[in-house]
Amino acid sequence: RAKTGNRGEYSFFTRDMADDIRERVRLLQALRHAIERQRLFLVYQPQLSLDTGHVCGVEALLRWRGDDGQLIPPDRFIPIAEHSGLIVSIGEWVMRTACRQQVELAQQGFPQIRMAINVSVIQLRHPQFLRSLSEALSESGADPRCIELEITESVAMLEADFISRMLDQIKALGISIALDDFGTGFSSLSYLRRLNIDRLKIDRSFISSITSGGRAQRIPELVMQLGQTLGLAVIAEGVEVAEQAAALSLIGCNEAQGYLYARPMESRMLLDWLRART
Ligand code: C2E
Ligand code: MG
Ligand code: MG
Ligand code: MG
């Protein structure tokens, strides 16, 4: 009980918390509603090879269009979906939709493009996760070699044995795995070596400071060395300006994603964008 000598402060504090809870409940109800009425959709952001300029992948990102037509950002509703368990069914829908989109891309002449799908730890912990994943693959006919799951580094650090066994089983399906937001989660090197992963995704915060001239500038370079040592590919997220891309090329990072190249786009726009480039 947060008690202060000042009654005014005390009631302000609790009213604040009550507001917060009410807001979460409202959002959760609205989210349930949005799922029923199919107001969730995916957008896709290209991932490019810095050497060739070719598109090597796209990341599927969830969007929610509210009743007023405004987009509600994932950072606001995903925590609520995770807390309530709704993320399990949302995540299944994301996997099915993204797998179908991979097939669509292949049919439209882009069979090499990788589809990266974000997965939350709540999904991974769910006993049906592997089954949902393999069903998404088989129902869609997606090429598992073109499917990649993105798991945040901080999540991969939890429950080490469980996660590492889980990743082995995911890999057995032929799917690849990237550690998202890498550099923010304090992975131990020995644990990292044990994890069956393919790619490190350098967190955006390190890309924005890569041309700062400060000490933070060196972090992407360290990630590159780590990737080389462990035999992992490295991609940079959040590349916004050409100077950042140049700095990445200099340290040998040859894959990048960010507003400099393209914003996340709806499926039809993505196909137009891809065709216009080739
Ligand atoms: P993330 O997986 O790290 O995704 C990258 C985020 O950076 C995306 O934000 C993307 O739109 C944004 N971004 C890309 N390039 C740039 C850039 O150049 N500058 C800036 N400022 N931002 C850039 P978004 O779409 O808002 O997603 C936020 C987070 O929500 C994601 O971070 C991911 O953790 C989560 N998320 C999104 N979709 C899903 C999903 O389907 N399932 C789950 N579990 N999480 C998701
Ligand atoms: Mg991601
Ligand atoms: Mg990320
Ligand atoms: Mg991120």
> Of all protein residues, whose CA lies closest to atom 30 belonging to ligand 1?
74
List the pLDDT tens digit at each of the 278 positions of the chain: 444 555 555 556 677 888 888 888 999 999 999 999 999 999 999 999 999 999 999 999 999 999 899 999 999 999 999 999 999 999 999 999 999 999 999 999 999 999 999 999 999 999 999 999 999 999 999 999 999 999 998 777 778 889 999 999 999 999 999 999 999 887 788 888 889 999 999 999 999 999 887 787 899 999 999 999 999 999 999 999 999 999 999 999 999 999 999 999 999 999 999 999 97
Q: Is 150 in the pocket of ligand 1 (CB under 6 A)?
A: yes
Q: Please, are residues 176 and 209 in contact by the beta-carbon 8 Å criterion?
A: no
Residue of 118, 202, 209 to test ligand 1 pocket, by largest number of atoms within 8 Å of CB: 118
User: Which residue's CA is the nearest one to ligand 1's atom 35?
Assistant: 74
Per DSSP, the three-state class of 24 is helix
Look up residue 244 and give its two tokens. Answer: 């950042």
Give the Cα separation of 230 and 85 in Å (integer). 35
Please give the Cα distance from 273 to 264 (Å, whole number). 11
Cα(119) to centroid of ligand 2, in Å? Answer: 8
Ligand sitting nearest the alpha carbon of 260: 1
ipTM of the complex: 0.98
Distance 278 CA to ligand 2 centre (A): 26
Return the residue whose CA atom lies nearest to atom 17 of ligand 1: 238
Q: Give the span between the Cα atoms of 106 and 114, in whole angstroms.
A: 10
The verdict on the CB of residue 198 being under 6 Å from ligand 1 is: no
